Amino acid sequence: MSTLTEAKKKEGTQLQHPCQVILFNDDWHTFDEVILQVQKATGCNLEEATRITLAAHNEGQAVAFSGPFERCEIVAAKLQQIKLGVSIER
């Protein structure tokens, strides 16, 4: 396999997000609390955090973050700091 082919294959693998952090709706936290924590955990902007929060509220769950497993663990732990319900799916 050529070096260029190997580089493209490696680059394609890095672009895929094998894991997702799922945020579940609950009746204990305010929208503002969840939005702020999603921003802290994922680094996303206010608009994206609001979209994720509303999706979890309306659909029961939402993908809060996609990425490598190790990063998903960090994001999930930050969301759980205020006792939000989350899971990591591969």
Is 70 within a domain? yes
Is 8 within a domain? no
Query: Other C-beta atoms within 10 Å of 90: how many?
Result: 7
- Position 9 scores a pLDDT of 45
Mean of pLDDT values over 48-68 = 98
Q: Which pTM does this prediction carry?
A: 0.81
> What domain range includes position 23?
16-89
**pLDDT level of residue 2 (50, 70, 90 thresholds):** very low
Mean of pLDDT values over 3-31 = 71
Higher-pLDDT residue of 65 and 5 is 65
- Domain containing residue 58: CATH number: 3.30.1390.10
Higher-pLDDT residue of 82 and 14 is 82
Is 10 within a domain? no
